[in-house]
Every structure is written in C-alpha cells, then in structure tokens.
Amino acid sequence: MDIAMVYSDRLLSPQIPPSRKLRVLKEVEIRLIEGEEQEVEELIMQIHSEEYFSRIRSHPFFENAVENVKCILTGLKALKDYDAVIVPVTTAGHLAEQSRMRGYCLLNGLAIAVKAAESYGRIAVIETDAHHGKASIVSEERATFFCIGRRECEISEDLRCVLGRRMGKDYVKSFEELVERVKEYDPNLVIWYLGLDLDSREYAEMPFGREEWEKLVKNFMKMAEGRKSLIMLASGLRDDVLKDIVGLFAGW
C-alpha cells in the first residue's frame, strides 16, 4: 500500500501545545508531502458562518487553523497518487461548531474534509478519539459516521466519549466490529479521525498500549485495501506517541 504524510512547518506554534509534537514527524521514514498554498476561504464558509469566520480572523490560532485546512485538502488531492495519506491535526479538528470554537479547534477540519471530498460519493468517517466531535454539522447525506459506541454511546458535557473510555481492553474488539460495519457500507473513501489521546501515555489515561495500536492499525489497513483513505491524526500532546503511531503506518 502506497502511503504518504502531509507536513508543514507552518503548523508549528509555541502558542499551540498540540502542535509542538509535530517536529518528530521528520524523524519517521515516510514520504512527506508539503502542504500546498491554496484558496480555502470559500470552502470554510460552507461549513462555518461568515460572521464566525470574520470574527476569528484576529484569533491567535487563525493562521494555524487555515494552514491546517490547507494540509487536509493537500492530503485529499494526494490520494490520486497514494492509497492512504496521513494529515496531522492541530487547530482544525472535529470539535469546532459552526459558530463556536471548542478546545483547540478553531475550525472543523473533519467537516471541511467531508465537504471537499463529496465527489467520492460514498464516504465513511470513522471517529476513534477520547472525545466526540461536532462534525454532525455536515449532512449525513454526504457521509456516514461510525463511532465505537453507536447510538448508545454516552457523551459528557465536555464531549468526552464516556463509553469509549470505559471499554479498556475491549476497545480493540469494538473497533473490529466497527470495521465490519464500514465494510458493509462499502465506501469509496474512508476518513479516519484518529485521536492519539487513546494512548495510555496521554491525558485520557486509557489502557491502550503498543499491542492495541498494532491491532487497530492492522484492522484498519486491511479494511482500507482497494479504497482511498485519509487518516487525520489528532489530539494528544506527546511526541513519542505521535512518532510511534506514524511509524506503525509507515511500516505497513
């Protein structure tokens, strides 16, 4: 499977803790694609309100979030040459609402990715993160969303994935079942929003180590054969976790 990763030095910022870990990406043996300069404002305003976009122009995260969107779109374009493309997420994650930022997410990069990928037809979005996203601002007519807990999943006020955090070692089994549901849906494109905060070394403190990661990546990559995949690596603060997970994909 041909796999590459989008990278931009412009994603690094001392003001944004999640971005600091990205420096280690140059240490991983994987093909790097430079984020392309491109016009993104019109696309962003198909997801976020014009009033909100105008208001956040003065936000210290603004330039980083726009650059992150450019990297996501670069990743989608690169799928014409690769089977799977990884894109690191900083301030354009899955938590931002149409007119409100949440956490470090100023823009909803996941929702924007789905909108930009409409030409693929059947799109499956997999969310495995210690938090639930707000990409439901995208119509389900454009994509089908898959999460670990289905409709029974409990969501706290701060969007923590309560059920997912309780699963412990059963998380991998639940992911295998999720992958089977994705196979049945038979999408042309799979977007995996992969939260590194699942790792036991991260702040969610889930019992998730190397063995679990290897199984997750293996299950996903087998399902992705014959399909295009955009892998959005998000959340988490530790560079060692990021390096380990990218290494698993690079070795596939």
**236: number of CA atoms within 13 Å, CB side?**
29
* CA distance linking residue 144 with residue 122, whole number of Å: 8
Spatial distance between the Cα atoms of 225 and 36, rounded to a whole number of angstroms: 27
What is the pTM for the complete model shown? Answer: 0.91
pLDDT at 47: 92
List the domains of the chain with CATH numbers.
3-250 (3.40.800.20)
241 vs 154, higher pLDDT: 241
**Rounded to whole angstroms, how far apart are CA atoms 92 and 97?**
11
With 80 as the cut, is the pLDDT of residue 154 above it? no
Name residue 142's amino acid.
R
DSSP string, 69-138: HHHHHHHHHHTTT-SEEEEE-SSS-S--BTTB-BTTBSS-HHHHHHHHTGGGSSEEEEEESSB---GGGS
pLDDT level of residue 135 (50, 70, 90 thresholds): low
Average pLDDT over residues 187-212: 90
CB 88 within 8 A of CB 98: no
H/E segment holding residue 68: helix 62-78
End-to-end Cα spacing for the chain: 7
Q: For 22-69, write each residue's pLDDT tens digit.
A: 999 999 999 999 999 999 999 999 999 999 999 999 999 999 999 999
Which span out of 55-64, 92-101, 202-211 was modeled with the highest average pLDDT? 55-64
Pairing of strands 84-88, 189-195: unpaired
Q: How much is the pLDDT for 148?
A: 74
For the residues 242-251, what does the mean pLDDT come to?
A: 96
94 contacts 133 by C-beta, under 8 angstroms: yes
pLDDT of res. 207: 82
